[in-house]
Each structure stands twice: as structure tokens, then as C-alpha cells.
Amino acid sequence: MQFIKTQVAIIGAGPSGLLLGQLLAKQGIDNIVIERVSGEYVLGRIRAGILEQGLVDLLHEAEVSQRMDEEGEPHDGFEIAYYDKRYRIDIKALTGGRTVMCYGQTEVTRDLMEAREKKGLLTYYSSNDVALHNVDSNAPSVTFSQDGKEFTLKCDFIAGCDGFHGVSRKTIPENKRNEFERVFPFGWLGVLSDTPPVAEELIYCKTERGFALASRRSAVRSRYYLQVPSTDKVEDWSDARFWDELKKRLPTDAAEKLVTGASIEKSIAPLRSFVCEPMQFGNLFLVGDAAHIVPPTGAKGLNLAASDVSTLYRLLSKVYNDGDKEAVYRYSEIALRRVWHAERFSWWMSNMLHDFNDDNVDITERKMFDRFMQSELSFFLNDEAGQKVMATQYVGMPYEKI
């Protein structure tokens, strides 16, 4: 058994863990990241594409923003196509100048990985049997194995940045966790392709065939999504079938511009709303998807992870650099206020834009709900006050002052 020590043990090398590690190191706080899979595997995941200003600011603060500044695309608005009619939500005008950045999560993760390596910060990739111990004591530790060697990492605090299926949340005793969940009766089939996007900005499409999203990664790389039944498997969807269905769901003038090509990534993500309260137990703090999940309709998943990181790193800096030992125990209360706001917005956008052909609900009730949502969407698209509400939440609520 090899004994190692650090101040903050970070479980998971996704965007949460890597961003937290970078910001802590900048504050002189020693940290070690333990990741279950290889770095290449982490980079093989294609996920979010829209960064709120808060996350853009954090990447500048972490001095990991150069490529994003060069290759990212600032977006002043997005569109909603409502049964073929296109409505533009001018987020910049409606929010007094705020915008979002279009830059893939994979690239954010790559930039953070490279920055961590350049700083010589320790990351144990391909770690097995990761287990957290004595998290509610002042001497928590993490055990894991790598390349046949066993390790015990002693630390002051553990940041559980290991996603929805990680070990951290499950380390909190069940009777100390209050979990909230809603699973949607459909998923998102996503395709990444090296084809020019159909539009300069994102188009969220509500159609009688179901939801679609036309997103992008650059002028030559597109990211598209289709709502599919939660029973569908990715092998049910050939590229040809995907493109054919997407063409039927895009607004007509955008469909005419669609350039199809081979998918370079294709996967189905389930949609769920989930929150674990509290987001801490003793000296274990849950960050990002380890604590909460949102349906991607509001582009909040990655951005919520960023606001958690911002809150936790600033509180840990108060502990280590200002001697305020109790500061970090306010984390969950602060983080949850923003989490629930983003959960509600993501749930609301998902209800308005998807087709709920949920067989578990009586058809009359389903039809009534669909009429409610059509009326809701029609109000928010045609009324400036409604558009302002949508724009303000899409760009993201400001981070709380710590």
C-alpha cells in the first residue's frame, strides 16, 4: 500500500473535477484528481456545447481560455421553430448585453487536461476500486488501485466530481440523502458530423413529430439532436434514417440548407431531472452531475457544474487562505439555490418543446397538457416580457457573491 497526501482529493476528471483542480491550484491549494477511465476515454464523450458567461469567466480566471477565445463562437441569440415558424430570442438585446459562448464541452475538457498536465498537477487516470472513507471525520481518505498498485490518499476534503454514476453520492448514507427525480419518457439521439451547420445560431424545434435541435461546434462541424422514445437503441438509427427524420423536423428553409454526412459520434442520452440534497456530508462535497442532472433542453448541465465549482473553490479558499474553517459548510445551501433555478428552467423548456406521447398517461390528459404547453410557448414567443424571461434564464442567473 502506497500512502499519499493532499489537501483536496478530487474524484473524477470531467469538467467539474478538472476546473476545480485548476482553480484550487491557483489559490495555492494542493489537490490530486482520481479518474476511473483513461484521459482518451474522457475526451471521447461528446456532450454540452453552450457555455454561460459565468463559465467563460471561470475559464479566464483559471487561465485556460486561450483556445476558447480563439475558436469559440459568442452567440447573441437562439431560435425556436414552433411548427415551422421561426422565432429568434435576441438574448443580447433582452438581457442588456449578455451572451452565451458556443464551444464544445469536449474542448473545454481537453484544454483543462492540458493545463493541468502543464502545471505538473497529479491525476491518476484508469484508477480502479475507488472508495471514500471517514468522509464525516477530519481525516477523510480515498483508496484506489492503479496498474496493480494499491494507494491510500489522505486529505482534508473530498470533492465528488464523479458524475451521476460515480461513487461519491452513494458514499453518503441513504438516510442522510433526500433525492428528487423525474425521468422523461424519451431521450436525445445526438449526432456529431463534419458538415456545415444549417444556421449561425441554435434552432430548438417543436414539431408534431417531436423535438429536434440544430446546434454547432464550428462553421464546419454540426451537432444535431432528435427526441426519440426512451426504448430506442442507437443501432436502430442509421445515419440515413437520422438525416431523413431531422429534415422532417427542421423548419423548411433550414432543412433546405441541411448538408448531410457521416456521423463521427452518435449516441442516445436519457433525459432526467435529478437533485440530491444536501450536496455535502461531513467533508465530502458533491459537484456537478454527482449532485444533479438536468434535461439538456436548457443547456444547463455543464453550466450548473461550473457554478458549483465556483462556489466550492471560493469557500475552500476562505478555509485555507483566510482561516475561516466553517466557510465551506455553507456550500450546499448556496449551490442548491442556483441548482433548483436551473432545474426548473430545464424542466419548463423540456415540457414546452417535446412531444409527450407518454403511454403511461391517459390520452385525454396528454392532449390537454399538450394544449397547455402550446399556449405557454405561444405566449413566451410572442410577448416581449415572455421572451425576456426566457432569455434571462437561458444566459444563466448570476453567481452568488461568496
Task: Kindly name the residue from 75, 206, 266, 292 that is annotated as catalytic.
Answer: 75
Restricting to residues 48-67, which ones interact with ligand PHB according to CB under 6 A? 48-50
Give how far the C-alpha of residue 149 lies from the chain's centroid of Cα atoms, to the nearest Å: 33
Note if 331 is an active site residue: no
Give how far the C-alpha of residue 288 lies from the chain's centroid of Cα atoms, to the nearest Å: 7
CA 210 – CA 249 distance, rounded (Å): 7
End-to-end CA distance of the chain: 39
Count interface residues toward ligand FAS (CB under 6 A): 32
> Is residue 12 a contact point for ligand FAS (CB under 6 A)?
yes
| Residue 275, binding choice from ligand FAS, ligand PHB, none, Cβ under 5 to 8 Å by partner class | none
Is the bond preceding 278 in cis, omega lying within 30 degrees of 0? yes
Backbone angles phi, psi at 65, to 5 degrees: -120, 0
User: Shortest Cβ distance from residue 338 to ligand PHB (Å)?
Assistant: 17
> Is residue 158 a contact point for ligand PHB (CB under 6 A)?
no
| Residue 297, binding choice from ligand PHB, ligand FAS, none, Cβ under 5 to 8 Å by partner class | ligand PHB
> Is residue 203 a contact point for ligand PHB (CB under 6 A)?
no
Taking the CB of residue 256, how many other CB atoms lie within 10 A of it? 10
Give whole-number Cα distances, 56 to 25, 112, 131, 364, in Å.
18, 13, 33, 45
Smallest CA-to-CA distance from 391 within 80, 88, 89 is with 89
Note if 85 is an active site residue: no
Selected binder of ligand FAS within 4, 93, 234, 269 (CB under 6 A) = 269
> Is residue 52 a contact point for ligand FAS (CB under 6 A)?
no
Selected binder of ligand FAS within 8, 9, 10, 16 (CB under 6 A) = 16
User: Shortest Cβ distance from residue 301 to ligand PHB (Å)?
Assistant: 8
CA 156 – CA 110 distance, rounded (Å): 28
For ligand PHB, the closer of residues 17 and 296 by Cβ is 296
Note if 103 is an active site residue: no
Task: Give, in degrees to the nearest 5, the angle at Cα 271 between 270 and 277.
Answer: 115
Three-state secondary structure call for residue 148 = coil
Task: Kindly name the residue from 300, 313, 331, 399 that is annotated as catalytic.
Answer: 300
Is-contact 54 23, C-beta < 8 A? no
For ligand PHB, the closer of residues 8 and 395 by Cβ is 395
Q: Which residue lies nearest ligand PHB, judged by its C-beta? A: 49
Is-contact 71 107, C-beta < 8 A? yes
Strands 284-286 and 157-160, bridge-based pairing? parallel
Active-site residues, by number, are: 75, 204, 296, 300, 394
The site for ligand PHB (CB under 6 A) is made up of 48-50, 202, 215, 223, 296-297, 299
The site for ligand FAS (CB under 6 A) is made up of 11-17, 34-37, 42, 47-48, 105, 130, 161-163, 165-167, 267, 269, 288-289, 296, 299-302, 305
